[in-house]
Each structure stands twice: as structure tokens, then as C-alpha cells.
Structure 1
């Protein structure tokens, strides 16, 4: 009851709820320092709460980190949902809507983007199986979107590899953004990525 009451007080005062304050502080620290270098005491100090509140909501540092990964992947899933809508649109418009949503969500959540990008580079014993499964599901869904546009694309295309390639093209710009925190100019990036993905670089002597 005390934890719920404290959260209600903070929310009424116009501040983030206790849970949100913990998530925001943790996301910033995990993005800046990584999981291993970030301690529970650092998180609660940054959030302005005590350890009991963190353990009340998340049971520990690792469940908190997993919750943030889940939030980041949910952003990715919501972008894929956009591509799955309006099936009558041509492929270029569907991909532009997907990328515009994806890049805009990243621009609004740079700490989560940094955490997800770092996790995507983990392999072997350090990778988080649940995160890998969720990301692969996003790739599968995007590949299905591309396959549904087979009338506009080469039928010999490996749509799974194409989906990975599209994510890869976008993620290079995302990595630059999360490292430099320079403004992410979404509209021209979307045009560039889709044009390059669909039409190539236009090599004249290839």
C-alpha cells in the first residue's frame, strides 16, 4: 500500500510515477554505461527513490533491464504493425510508413534504442533468448509484408534476408544517432533507405 500511495502522490504532483522514474533513470544509465557497469544504488539515486521501491516494482536489476528491452522491442513491433496495415498501398509507401514510424520512435526513445542495439550485437552465452525470439518475430513479420508485395518485387527474392537487410540499413543510421545524439532527420533518411533498398545504387557498369 505504501508503494502504491507514493506512486499516486508523485503522479498527482505532475512528476513521473515512481515506476516511470526508475525506468527512465535505469534506461539512461544502462544506455550510457551498459548493464554490468550499472548498479542498483546508482539507479535509485538517479531516480530519487530507495532500493525497496525498485525491488517492489522489478525484483532486481536484471528484471528491470529485461523490462526495458521489452519496451524497446514493443516500439519495433509497433513500427512493423504500421507496415502490415493498408495492404492495398504500393510497397514503397508501406516501407516508408514503416521506416518513418521506426525512426521517429527511435528519435523519441534514444536510451531504449541504445539498449536494444547493444543487445542485438550480443551473441553466444551473453545473449538474451527472449529478446532474440522477439526480434526474429519482427523480422518474420516484415518478411511477410515484403512477400505480400511479391507482385512488385522480384519473385526470386529471399524475403527473410531482404527484411534483415532493410533493418540493417536503418540500424546503421540509428547507431550513428544513439552514439552522437545528433538530430535524426527522418524524412530524407526514409526516402534514401527505401530508394536504395528497392532500386539499388544504380551502378552504370554492373
Structure 2
């Protein structure tokens, strides 16, 4: 007999799992905690996902796609300039990470544990080299490898979110003020990168 899937329950479990995994990591999280977070019993969670590992894999794939996969329509857009692409990628990351502040550390941990999974999602090798943004970069700075640009954008955009608590405490900045700083940074970073590209 085929399993009947209730999409709303399945989604509720995935969202709960995401919160628990981001909060505690894979090793420390339990299916009981995830079930409690979702407001269901453990048997129902097992009915939908069987194991914690299977649920984690699904959640991780979705989170990696959020962090990396969704930038491809931006960097492959034939209608936008190189500078517009840079701004759009930075704005995308800023919006996503303000909404999901634990996402960077969650994915970073997985990058260390299973780099092949992340690389598969990012498709860094041939897709990056064939992207419109790579062609546009070569037109203005043929001496800079496209991956240097992408790594620079991601590093400058993501690191402040990863070290947010440290930056807030060391600078004596409260959460509201630092959030404003992050939003302002989304406008500053394209200016910094533009100056680098001009040499």
C-alpha cells in the first residue's frame, strides 16, 4: 500500500528539523526534539522520513540550494551588467541571512564534513566558468579568475553574519544597530568590489 503524504505535515517537519539542526547541529539533534518542535509524535516523523540522516540530507540540500543554488539565475542573467549582478548577489545574501541568521554556520559545518555535497550544489567548476558573470569579468579584468570574484563576494557578504555575535560585543553595538549596519553594507560592498575591479 502506497504511503499517503500530507504535504503540510511534511513541510512542518522539515521546517522544525531546520530550526533544530541549525540550533544544535546534526550530532546533538534528536528525532524526539524535532517531533516536539513540529508538534507531532515521533512515530509520525518516522513515518515520513524514517531516519534522522534522511531528514538531515533533505534539509541540508534545501539550505545549500538557498545559500548557493539560487544565485545562478542572477549570475547568468544576460540582461544585467557585471555591477548589477554583484549588487544582486549581495542583496540576495543579505536578505536571506537576515531572515535565517544561523544558516551560514549550518552550511559551513557541512562544507567541512561533506565538501562533495556542497560542491555538487554549487557546481563551481564548469558552470561558474560558463556563467554570464564570468564572461563579463573577463571583458574588464581578464587577469582575474572568475572564482576569485565569487569567493570575494561570498566572503565579504557572509562573514559578518558568521561572526555577528563577536562583532556586536567587541564594538558595543546592539542587535538593531548591527542589523542596520548589515543592510548598509549591502550598498557598500558593490562599491568596494567595483574599485577592486578597476584596479
Q: TM-score, normalised by structure 2?
A: 0.77
Structure 1 residue 191: Cα displacement: 2.1
| CA 160–140 in structure 1, closer or farther in 2 if over 3 Å, else same | farther
Residues 112, 35 of structure 1: alpha-carbon distance in 2 compared, 3 angstrom cutoff: same
1:50 and 2:41 are equivalent in the alignment:
yes
Cα deviation digits, residues 69-127 of structure 1 (max 9, x gap): 11112223123312322x2432111211122122212323334444213223x1xxx32
CA RMSD of aligned residues (A): 3.3
Q: How does 1:1-206 map to 2 (within 5 A)?
A: 4=4, 7=6, 17-75=8-66, 76-85=68-77, 87-120=78-111, 122=112, 126-127=113-114, 129-135=116-122, 137=123, 141-142=127-128, 144-150=131-137, 153-177=140-164, 183=179, 187-200=183-196
Structure 1 runs not aligned, ≥5 long: 9-16
Deviation at 1:27, TM superposition (A): 1.3
Cα 1:101–1:66 change in 2 (3 A) is same
Unaligned runs of 5+ in 2: 169-174
TM-score under structure 1 length normalisation? 0.74
**How many Å separate the matches in 1 of 2:65 and 2:32?**
27
Residue 22 of structure 1 contacts residue 47 of structure 1 at CA under 8 Å; is this kept in 2?
yes
Do 2:13 and 2:34's aligned partners in 1 also have CA atoms closer than 8 Å? yes
- Which structure features the higher share of helix residues? 2
Whether the aligned pair in 2 keeps the contact of 1:104 and 1:186 (CA below 8 Å) is no
CA distance in 1, matches of 2:101, 2:15: 11
* 105-114 vs 62-71, which moves further: 105-114
